[in-house]
Amino acid sequence: MKFILNTGRSITQGRHVEHKFHRGYSEETSTCFIHPLDLLDLDMEEGEHVEVTSECGSVVLRTVNCEDLRRGMIFVPMGPFANHIIPSHTHSTGMPDFKSIPVELEYTDAERSTQWDLMEKIGGQRYEKM
Amino acid sequence: MKKCDVICPFCGCLCDDLEITVEDNRILGVDNGCTLANAKFMGKERLTSPIRRTDGGWEDINYDEAIRYTVDMLLDADRPLLYGWSGTHGEAQCIGVHMCELVGGIIDSTTSVCHGPSILAIQEVGHPGCTLGQVKNRADVVIYWGCNPLEAHPRHMSRYTTYADGYFLDNAFRDRTVVVVDVRETETARVADEFVRIKQGGDYAVLSALRAIVRGKGDMIPPSVAGVPRSQLERIVRMCKDAKFGAVFFGLGLTMTKGKYKNIRNAIELVDELSRHTKFTITPMRGHWNVYGSNEVFTWMTGYPYAIDFCRGIAFYNPGETSAIDILARKECDACMIIGSDPGAHFPRKCVEHLADIPTVVIDPVPTMTTAMANVQIPVAVSGIDAEGTAYRMDGVPFRVKKVIEPTLPSDTEVLGDMFARMKEAKGL
Ligand code: SF4
């Protein structure tokens, strides 16, 4: 099913800004907030995982019901998970489209990655001494 | 011991009324701060020594080695990018500009991924702004557009708007009308007097419709604009025209969506239009505590507020070409120094990938997602906790952030100052 991905600040994400190696940061930024009726249309229950695919990749997120959203829109707190699938073009303004990316959602039984897994996938090296 | 009137170095509100309890050079408690301030002051997971990436792990190195590595990296590079700067104080930003000029690199702050489009609009049509003190004491209509202060600037409403007492308002809470315009019904929207829910990407159309109504051309407006009924738009215009003093605050909901800087230009022009009837102002909700400072410092030193390229030997500015996202996405830079920000978490994947391919140094007190992409990370004292310097609040008012404990690590200014001295020496200057 097609959706529009919106990203932004959440207070839990904000609390972890300087504690990004914590599990709580990974949990929060890999959450896909979605309208309960949209979840119903996907034939899924809250807490199940979705694969979210944009023109430049896909990522596995956990669903959470959220009636604040209009139907057809998902919200993912800003962080490495959302940015895994956000295209880098800026229409010559310097600013990518962080708030209106067309995506496709599909049920998956795959596990979510951790924030460090994602960084290692693109050539990084985890730092877990804390 | 309690330290009073401490400034919080987290968001652009720069609240200056925190009380910090300190015992034996350790912070034991934070009063008056929001949950974000608490997390920052009470954070205990700082790096204690510079680290260098090895094959499959990390090793501790000393400051001399780490600084030498960075200096060599910057001097060897053809097109170095010096990015971040919003999480450090003005004095360090100054040294950054000098370093960048010396190596002919590109310097950019997190502005390019937050209110860069707002600056582009301001350069086109100007900025009818004011200080937050004016808003607090005078504003009887407050509009939050595309922002969610209760989560991103948690004390904005209690210090400056909804819940703040105002000198010229008898009962500020009752006398102030708060309007929230957003695509989501956020926490902030729920405490507003009026919530305007627009369809994603409909901001430009709604702003244009409001301008038309203010100009008396409301009959041209269709019954619904981007999901907002015309009757609600007319009500809001009446409310604004009746206001004694109106204040618009806007966030990334306007700068990051379709239209980008054209949305902001339209919002500024709406404020201009309303100011023909009453007094209206507009202020961007700046995120990082000193992102505004980076624009001030860069502007007074180079003439431009962000995305400045020194490769021609003079300052050149063209966001979309010289901004960090574009430089990284085009794989144009061949070295990167990052200070006071975390592009690893907040840049699109393609940009972060390039950081892994080039030598990268991170200057940051804590491990972040960018640590994973770094060759070397240099921990520093935290401005506002164990380092001091100048910061600019979201309305452009400068503050001196103080330290509350004695540092055990060098500050950004010391580390950058050392690097700059060695670079000058290497260049025979
Ligand atoms: S609102 Fe911002 S500046 Fe004020 S205490 Fe909270 S995080 Fe700090």
Q: What is the pLDDT of residues B230-275, one digit of tens each?
A: 999 999 999 999 999 999 999 999 999 999 999 999 999 999 999 9
Residue B295: enclosing H or E segment and its boundaries?
helix B291-302
Residue B61's CATH number: 3.40.50.740
Ordered DSSP codes for B150-199: HHHSTTHHHHTSTTS--TT-SSHHHH-EEEEEESS--HHHHHSSEEEE--
Distance between CA atoms of residues A75 and A32, nearest Å: 6
Identify whether residues B164 and B278 lie together within a single domain: yes
Is residue B188 within 8 Å of B148, Cβ to Cβ?
A: yes
- Split into its structural domains, chain A has a count of 1
Residues B98 and B133 in one domain: no
Torsion of CA B204, B206, B208, B211, to 10 degrees: -140
- Within-domain flag for B13: no
Same domain? For B104 and B122 the reply is: no
pTM: 0.95
Where do we find the tokens 């020194």? B310
Residue B338 CA, ligand 1 centroid: distance in Å = 24
B275 CB neighbour count, 10 Å cutoff: 14
Question: Given an 8 Å threshold on Cβ–Cβ distance, is B57 in contact with A69?
Answer: no
Residue finishing a domain among B239, B263, B284: B284
- By alpha-carbon position, which residue is closest to atom 4 of ligand 1? B15
Of B255, B284, B313, the one marking the end of a domain is: B284
Q: Say if CB B263 and CB B257 are below 8 A apart.
A: yes
pLDDT greater than 80 at residue A129: no
User: Is B31 inside any structural domain?
Assistant: no
Residue identifier of the C-alpha nearest atom 2 of ligand 1: B11
Give me the pLDDT at residue B16, please. 96
Verify that B187 and B105 share a domain, yes or no.
Answer: no
Q: Domain containing B123 — which CATH number?
A: 3.40.228.10
Outline where DSSP puts E strands in B78-153.
80-84, 106-109, 141-145
Chain A / chain B CB contacts < 8 angstroms: 193
Contact across the interface for B346 and A97, Cβ inside 8 Å: no
Whether residue A130 lies inside any domain: the answer is: no
- Strand A2-8 and strand A73-77: the pairing is parallel
The answer to whether residue A107 is domain-embedded is yes
Of A6, A73, A126, the CB nearest to B372: A126
Quote the number of domains for chain B.
Answer: 2
B70 Cα to chain A: minimum distance (Å): 19
B112/A98 touch (CB, cutoff 8 Å), yes or no: no
Residues B210 and B319 in one domain: no
Residues B94 and B235 in one domain: no
B273 shares a domain with B142 = yes
% residues pLDDT > 70 (chain B): 100
Taking residues B137-148, report their average pLDDT: 96
Which residues does a 6 A CB cutoff place in the pocket of ligand 1?
A: B 8, 10-11, 13-15, 33-34, 36-37, 153-155
- Alpha-carbon span B341 to B360, nearest angstrom: 13
Rounded to an integer, what is the distance from CA A28 to the centroid of its chain? 9
Tell me the chain B residues in contact with residue A90 when contact means C-beta distances shorter than 8 Å.
Answer: 320, 323, 325-326, 329
CA of B343 to the centre of ligand 1 (A): 22
Residue in B255, B324, B367 nearest the CB of A130 = B367
* Residue B21 within any structural domain of the chain: no
Give the tens place of pLDDT for each residue, A28-78. Answer: 999 999 999 999 999 999 999 999 999 999 999 999 999 999 999 999 999
Q: Between chains, do B367 and A21 touch, taking CB under 8 Å as contact?
A: yes
Note whether B348 contacts A73, CB cutoff 8 Å.
no
Residues B279, B213 share a domain = yes
**A11 at interface of B, judged by CB pairs closer than 8 A:** yes
Residues B51, B72 share a domain: yes
Residue B334 inside a domain? The answer is yes
* Strand partners of residue B319: none
Q: What's the sign of the alpha-carbon dihedral B252, B253, B257, B263?
A: negative
Within a 13 Å sphere around the CA of B388, how many CA atoms are in the beta-carbon half?
A: 10
Judge if B314 and B243 occupy the same domain. no
From chain B, pick out residues whose CB is under 8 angstroms from the CB of A36. none
Q: Which residues of A touch B184 (CB under 8 A)?
A: 6, 68-70, 73, 75
* B262 in any annotated domain: yes
Q: Is the ipTM of this complex over 0.85?
A: yes
Q: Does residue A9 lie in a domain region?
A: yes
Contacts of A78 (CB under 8 A, 6+ apart): A7, A8, A9, A13, A29, A98, B345, B346
Instruction: Give residue B145's domain range.
Output: 116-284
Task: Tell me, yes or no, whether B78 and B184 share the same domain.
Answer: no
In a domain, B22, yes or no: no
In the predicted structure, residue A130 carries a pLDDT above the cut 70: no
Could you tell me if B141 and B212 lie in one domain?
Answer: yes
Question: In this complex, do A6 and B184 lie within 8 Å of one another by their Cβ atoms?
Answer: yes
- Token pair recorded at residue A121: 């996938």
Dist. CA A87–CA A58, nearest whole Å: 11
- Calpha distance A50→A30 (Å, rounded): 10
What residue numbers bound the domain in which A64 lies?
2-121
User: Within a domain: residue B15?
Assistant: no
Among B232, B258, B284, residue at a domain's last position = B284
Query: Number of C-alpha atoms within 13 angstroms, CB side, residue B374?
Result: 29
